[in-house]
Each structure stands twice: as structure tokens, then as C-alpha cells.
Amino acid sequence: MGLFKKDEAVKESSILEALRIVNDPDLNRDIVSLGFVKDLRINDGNVSFTIELTTPACPVKDQLKAEAQSAVAKLPGVTGVEASLSFKVTSKISPQAKALIPHVRNTIAVASGKGGVGKSTVAANLAVALMKFGAQVGLMDADVYGPSIPILMGASQWFAV
């Protein structure tokens, strides 16, 4: 470790420049120009920051985090790196949609013109997966002849509205 001066300070600009090598493969741009790097802090060579992605379902989130930590750790004067992930799901809601379902930001419809193809199973699994990522989820079964969501979700009692 004798390669660097003891008083060499880590600069924010150096960290951001190092993070420009970390590219989001779906968007084909680096995480700095995409505005994903948030809450950058430097304390005596210890660097911490958050990578704010657009969805918790990002398939490469762990890869992006690892690449970002590795890139910053290589900088002179950096003694520790702590990267965390956060998610900001954005949606554009029309005024008509806001009036139809107040306080609901996103809806996902699972539909088919044929019965018995697994719509309820897909909807139930999607709801559980989104909950595991931290989303607040509501699930509605619109099958008036035989709703199966209560059975799939293990509800002992259910009632139709």
C-alpha cells in the first residue's frame, strides 16, 4: 500500500468517472449518465452510494452492484466500498385512470379468451413475486362462475362483492 500518499483524498468526480464503465445492458448506457447513482458519500476513504434502478425485477441488478463496487474499489485512496440498491418504479397515469382506481399506480391484467390455460396461476405467482420484491399487491379474480384465486392463495374463507 505504499504506492499512494497517505493524504490522498478520494474525489467525487473520480468515483463518478470510475462508475461510467458500469453499463446497463438493456439500456446500453452507463449508470452515471442514466442518473442511477444516488447518495454518494465519502468518509476517510470509505465510499458508499446507492444504485437506483427502475424496477426491482432487474435481472442484472446484482451484476451492476458488483461491477460498481469493483470499479470504485480500484481507485487510489479508497479503503472500502458499500453499494446498495434501491428501486424507483415510474409510471405515467392518465387522469382517467386515476379516477377509475384511486391510489393505484400500476395494474397488470392477466387475460385470455380461453378457459383453463393458467391465468389464475400466472396472476397468483406474479402477485407473490412482486410482494417478495417489496411491492404492495392487490389481487382480484373476476371469474364470476368459479373464482380460483382464493383456493390458490390458501384463503379458508372468501366472499364475492
Q: What CATH number is associated with residue 70? A: 3.30.300.130
Q: Give the per-residue pLDDT at 157.
A: 62
23 three-state secondary structure: strand
Is the domain of 78 the same as that of 121?
A: no
Q: What is the pTM of this model?
A: 0.59
Number of domains in the chain: 2
Is the domain of 65 the same as that of 22?
A: yes
Summarised one tens digit per residue, pLDDT across range 114-158 is: 788 888 899 999 999 988 888 888 888 888 777 788 888 887 665
Q: How far apart are the first and last CA of the chain?
A: 69
Cβ distance 77 to 42 under 8 Å?
Answer: no
Residue 1 has pLDDT above 60, yes or no: no
The Cα–Cα gap between 85 and 64 comes to 9
Q: What is the CA radius of gyration of the chain?
A: 23
Q: Give the per-residue pLDDT at 91.
A: 67
Domain range holding 64? 12-87
Cβ distance 19 to 32 under 8 Å?
Answer: yes
Tell me if 125 is assigned to some domain: yes
pLDDT above 70: percentage of residues in the chain: 88
Residue type, 122: V
Is the domain of 83 the same as that of 101?
A: no
Residue 2 has pLDDT above 50, yes or no: no
Tell me if 3 is assigned to some domain: no
